[in-house]
Amino acid sequence: MQYDVSSPAEYMESLDSDWRKDRLKELRNIILQQDPAIQETINYKMLCFKLNDSVLFHLNAQSAYVSLYCGNTKKIDPDGALLAGLSIGKGCIRFTKSKTISKTRIAEFIERAVVLLKEGEDIGC
């Protein structure tokens, strides 16, 4: 889904109060806790997280899942261990209503992506 908003606060306000908003908030908090220098903006009508002017992630609530867009998952998690059991698309990770974020290793994946980006690694597509 696309949200016609101009700020992260507007984006959050525009979401329905349901499981998608809860999952998105949880992922958003994990990302923002990684480094105080992470900036949250709107890009492509979704939440965008940047570090040192480089895009780190996009986050968006779809109709049936929440998507974490992360560039190339193989550059961040080459053997797939951190993303085991998750629905992975080309450059995105999908979280459905039945997926409990705290029971996954997504926080480790996000932390690894931040470390790689700080080290100057290309994690994009």
Mean pLDDT of 8-20: 94
Strand partners, 67: 60, 94
Residue 125 lies in a domain: no
**59, part of any domain:** yes
Q: Is 90 a domain residue?
A: yes
Output the average pLDDT for the chain: 94
pLDDT at 125: 64
- Inside any domain, residue 124: no
| Domain-located, residue 74 | yes
DSSP state letter for 102: G
Domain encompassing residue 25:
8-118
Kindly state the average pLDDT of the residues 26-40: 97
3 is a domain residue: no
Q: What is the pTM of this model?
A: 0.93
Grade residue 2 by pLDDT with cuts at 50, 70 and 90: confident
Q: Is the dihedral of CA 53, 65, 88, 78 positive or negative?
A: positive
Report pLDDT for 64.
Answer: 94
pLDDT band at 68 (very low <50, low <70, confident <90, very high): very high
